[in-house]
Amino acid sequence: MSNPSLGRSLSVRAPGGIAPVYERPGHQEFLADVLEGLKKPRKQLAPKYFYDERGACLFEAICELDEYYIPETETAILLENVREMADLLGTSVLLIEYGCGNCAKTRILLDHLDRPVGFVPIDMALEQLQRIAAELGHAYPGLDVLPVCADFTRAFDLPGKKLPDGRTIVFFPGSTLGNFDPLSARDFLNRIADICGPEGALLIGVDLRKDPEVLHRAYNDSEGVTAAFNLNLLLRINSELGADFRLDRFKHYAFFSPGESRVEMHLVSLDEQTVHIVGSAIHFARGESIWTESSYKYTLEGFEKLAASAGFQVERVWTDDRQWFSVQYLVRRRS
């Protein structure tokens, strides 16, 4: 991805100040990533491209489903323990959130933090990010809100000189870390450790291993919203790259792989067919799939080892009664 700080700057005026919003990753990068992924022996597309404006709305709808346990479970953990979390995070913090979405969980934290000095929401869904940043600026008039539209899976610049001073806390709720394979997850946590600095901390949501039937229902909901979310990736490629995917010739397929401890989401070709994208012809055999997402599920011990490999120490863990999900407080390991 091109460095987002080189993109066209936009402004969101809010009582807390003027915050820069950078352009989303460009057309050429999207095209290159799609063609590279679809030309691999095992076709794949990066889950970060789910989140155009329609995709972001569909994901919000997924979060309202009974089968998709993560948002409700994590929110309950936050509501029950937020005072303890706020005490651990401390006074006058700079809060940075990766993949902020609609910031519903962030508001729980902001309502309890003691005099936070700034909030940096980071997301790829530009339209949603602009709207949410403006809403937060009005809801928290003493808070500097500095949104950044960026692909946080790659290196990017924070608006350094504009960031207020304060203990740096990275907030990474949901289960997005599970989209990274273990090696990439370690590298990503290493980058977060650098951003936090020696005195900072990470508050992260970590999805836990559980009954595979629960996972099957969560990723194959009865209303078909997850299927629509998955297929929307092809619709986006058609719309933005001029491809000719026929959505009725692909189906959503998700399953749990116990050996890898991950849910995989795929789009399966129902026929032998050829899809065209900007002069490239991509052939699909019947039953061949595009791997669109992985979602790794951790044990508490497994995640602690992963965090340690990235220079973090787990200091506090909160879970629900069923131990389906956890919110964990990590600090930099002292050498």
Q: Is residue 126 part of a domain?
A: yes
- Which helix (H) or strand (E) segment is 136 a member of? helix 126-139
* Contacts with 111 (C-beta within 8 Å, 6 or more apart), sequence order: 82
Asked whether residue 124 is assigned to any structural domain, the reply reads: yes
Token readout for 101 is 């979405």
Within a domain: 327: yes
The tens digit of pLDDT for each residue in 178-191 reads: 999 999 999 999 99
Domain count, the chain: 1
Evaluate whether residue 41 is within a structural domain: no
User: What secondary structure, in 3-state letters, does 40-98 show?
Assistant: CCCCECCHHHHCCHHHHHHHHHHCCCCCCCHHHHHHHHHHHHHHHHHHHHCECEEEEEE
Question: What pLDDT is recorded for position 16?
Answer: 39
SS3 325: strand
In a domain, 51, yes or no: no
Q: What is the pLDDT of residue 142?
A: 87
Give dist(CA 45, CA 60) in Å, integer. 21
Is 244 inside any structural domain? Answer: no
Do 229 and 288 form a contact (C-beta atoms < 8 A)?
A: no
| Helix/strand/coil (H/E/C) assignment for every residue in 31-53 | HHHHHHHHCCCCCECCHHHHCCH
Q: Does 18 reside within a domain? A: yes
Check residue 2 and give its pLDDT: 28
Q: Say what angle helices 225-241 and 27-38 make with each other, to 10 degrees.
A: 120
Given a cut of 50, the residues of the chain with pLDDT beneath it are 1-23
pLDDT at 252: 98
Q: Classify residue 166 by its DSSP letter.
A: S
pTM: predicted TM-score of the whole model, two decimal places: 0.88
Interatomic CA distance for residues 266 and 127, integer angstroms? 27
Distances (CA, A) of 233 to 55, 177, 206, 247: 8, 20, 25, 10
- CATH number for the domain including 181? 3.40.50.150
Q: Provide the 3-class DSSP secondary structure of residue 307.
A: helix
70 found inside a domain: yes
Domain that holds residue 120: 4-26+65-210+299-332
Question: What pLDDT is recorded for position 282?
Answer: 98
